[in-house]
Structure 1
Amino acid sequence: MIFETQEERPEIMENLHRVGITNLRTVARINWKGKVYTFIPTFEITIDVPAEKKGIHMSRLVESITETMGEAVEEEVLEPHTSLEELGKCIIKRLEGKHPHRRAEVWIKTQLVMERTTPASGRRSLETYDVEVGVVKNYDGSFEKVLRVKAIGNTACPHAMANNEGKTHIQRAVGELEVRAPFDEEIALEDMIDVVEGSFSHPTYTLLKTVDENAVVQGMYRNPKFVEDVAREILARAKERFKGRIHVRVVSHESIHKHDVIAETWS
């Protein structure tokens, strides 16, 4: 006999808004506009738990991933899921038949690899970007998505340049962009990365030959920016291209200070 202790009434009767599993890693294949991407993402899946229920059946959350992922990787090879957010929604839909809930979230963290061309030698450089996709089923049954990307660039300080006869300090900067939108709003993670990367003094590259290093440095000096400038430009570009609530955070890892500098804004 199996006792369903999760269905018992708890001693403390309080609603819980997010209960589930986190840091579950598996594999996924996504066909985005004819190009197939293979990911090894990390999942977090949560649902709400009413006050009168002691807990949830954790194995059913895992099943909602493994069964959906099995279809995506094996049965749907010819037609994989079209996006990470579509995969997240499919997991929630499968969970609906396994575990009662009113609200659910699926968060998928992974890395997206994009091909870039170095600025002078024209060599191919593969760049890796941290991305996160969240799918939220609201209490009214509607779905929304949250897309987050992170890109590394650099900045040249305009203040030092103006006071040192054109000489200045440079630093690595990390830009983060989040867009929260209705589920059906089409937003490409690649486009979000382009917005962030194009807002620095200059992008950075994994592969750089000497002529490329020179081009990057010269490009930075032609385009000096404060971290505040970068944050404002990311926001302005994002508002032009994406519909939804936008959040921007930029961290400048200062080269001449013992602290970092941040700029943050949202629409």
Structure 2
Amino acid sequence: MSAREYREISESDLLDAPEFLDSMTDVANQRSDRRGRAVQAGIDDQDFAVTIGSFVQEADECAVTGSASLTVTLPAGRRGAHMSRFIESVYEVSARPWPTFAAFVDALTRDVAERQCTEEARVRLVGRVLVPRRTPVSKQLSHDRFMLLGDGRMRAGEVRTRTGLEATVITACPCTQAYSWGSTALTLAETHGVNTANQIMRDVVPFTHSQRATATVWVDGEDGPSTRDCYAAMCEGAHVVHELLKRPDEHYLVQRSHTRPQFSEDVVRDVVSALLERSDAAWPGSCRVRVESRAVESIHSHAVHSVLEGTLDDFRTAE
């Protein structure tokens, strides 16, 4: 911008220099003479820290830290977004505690749109939370890591949110386990006879390969399953890992995953089934839920993934 594009100062400007400088330097709010349609503008990788109500029974609240991506849609004639106002939104909204992560996503989306004076805004959050959980057998406490995910969109004054909970789980391969059972049974039968082999194998959990995986539950809006509901469904439908595991705890988790082996496809189906078992009559049937699973194969160089998505009514009628 050249000097000739600035207006000349007046005597009144000297009397109120801060006002003059503020109006003159608000370049982002100026009208753009450049060609083009509406432009999306914002910031990425903005750190945030917020306190929300806990989704585990061992704590009343938990701290979430992570990264935010904030975007607004500017009309064709507006030159730019006010980048500092994005930071103000994150700080002001996250400075207050929120009952749920979904409520925080909703409030942040509205605040961004209001400060930027726009009707369209989007907020995407990836948060990390450490929550105290007790081990399954020794009942010792440790901090376990979960991820909280948020996506908020405002259009024409209406805000829609989607929030997700991601957990680390362990899966055991069913097909290798079936082969191990058959192979072991045949070997025993050759040595000890068929009847003895069958008797032994009734009480044996065959070996198989296992892998670290993630399970993620996304819920649209705030009227459907809560994060606490999603957490409980994941603990029931999948095999959620613990940071601290004493030997009896390790045995329990590995035995549980081998007693109920799962493909990636089984994980998403079992989590949805566990969620439906907790179904509340107040949950709207139109509420959309998406369950994802991704496993890093231990005996292959690739990963596998599965997705099951639909409304609560879709899932209920499919049973």
TM-score, L = length of structure 2: 0.71
In the alignment of these two chains, the number of paired residues is 254
Secondary structure in 2 aligned to 1:255?
coil
Superposed, 1:108-123 pairs within 5 Å as 108-123=125-140
Amino acid at match of 2:230: M
- Superposed, 1:242-257 pairs within 5 Å as 243=284, 244-257=287-300
Q: Give the 3-state SS of the residue equivalent to 2:117 in structure 1.
A: coil
Residue 152 of structure 1 contacts residue 197 of structure 1 at CA under 8 Å; is this kept in 2? no
Q: Tell me the CA shift for residue 62 of structure 1.
A: 1.8
In 1, distance between residues paired with 2:304 and 2:113?
A: 44
Counterpart CA distance in 1 for 2:104 and 2:94 is 8
The Cα shift of 1:211 comes to 1.5
- Aligned pairs for 1:53-68 within 5 A: 53-68=78-93
- The offset of 1:32, in angstroms, is 5.6
1:49 is displaced (CA, Å) by 0.9
Compute the displacement of 1:29 (Å): 2.7
Distance 1:179 1:150, change over 3 A: same
- CA gap 1:167/1:31 in 2 versus in 1, 3 angstroms: closer
Is the CA contact 2:113–2:121 (under 8 Å) kept in the aligned structure 1?
no
- Cα 1:51–1:250 change in 2 (3 A) is same
Question: Which residue number corresponds to residue 207 of structure 2?
Answer: 167
Work out which of the two has the higher radius of gyration on C-alpha atoms and give 1 or 2.
2
| 1:154 aligns to 2:170 (yes or no) | yes
What aligned pairs does 1:1-267 form with structure 2 within 5 A after superposition?
1=21, 2-6=24-28, 7-16=30-39, 18-31=40-53, 35-70=60-95, 72=96, 80-139=97-156, 141-165=157-181, 166-181=206-221, 183=222, 185=223, 187-200=225-238, 202-238=239-275, 241=279, 243=284, 244-267=287-310
Aligned equivalents of 1:94, 1:54: Cα separation in 2 = 21
- TM-score norm. by structure 1 comes to 0.83
Give the direction of change, closer, same or farther, for the CA distance of 1:15–1:193 in structure 2 (3 Å limit). same
Contact 1:238 1:246 in 2 (8 A): no
Q: Deviations over 1:201-247 (max 9, x none)?
A: x3211111112111222212211111111122223334554652122
In structure 2, relative to structure 1, the CA distance for the partners of 1:39 and 1:155 (3 Å cut) is: closer
Asked if 2 retains the 8 angstrom alpha-carbon contact of 1:247 and 1:265, the reply is yes
Question: Closer, same or farther in 2 for the Cα pair 1:125/1:32, shift >3 Å?
Answer: closer
The runs of 5 or more residues in structure 1 that have no matched partner are: 73-79
- Report sequence identity in percent: 23
Structure 2, unmatched stretches of 5+, are 1-20, 182-205, 311-319
CA deviations 1:86-144 (Å, max 9, x no partner) are 333333444455322111223333223333222222222321101112332222x2222
How many Å separate the matches in 2 of 1:97 and 1:157? 50
CA shift in 2, pair 1:10/1:191, >3 Å: farther
1:35-92 Cα offsets, whole Å, 9 max, x none, are 233333422222111122221111122222333344x2xxxxxxx3323333333334
SS in structure 2 at match of 1:224? coil
Which amino acid in 2 is paired with 1:227?
S
If each structure's helix is expressed as a fraction of its own residues, which one has the higher value?
2
With over 3 angstroms needed to count, the CA separation of the structure-2 counterparts of 1:173 and 1:66, relative to structure 1, is: closer
Q: C-alpha separation between the residues in 1 aligned to 2:38 and 2:144? A: 44
SS of 1:112's equivalent in the other structure is: strand
Cα separation, 2, equivalents of 1:259 and 1:192: 28
Following superposition, the deviation at residue 187 of structure 1 comes to 4.0
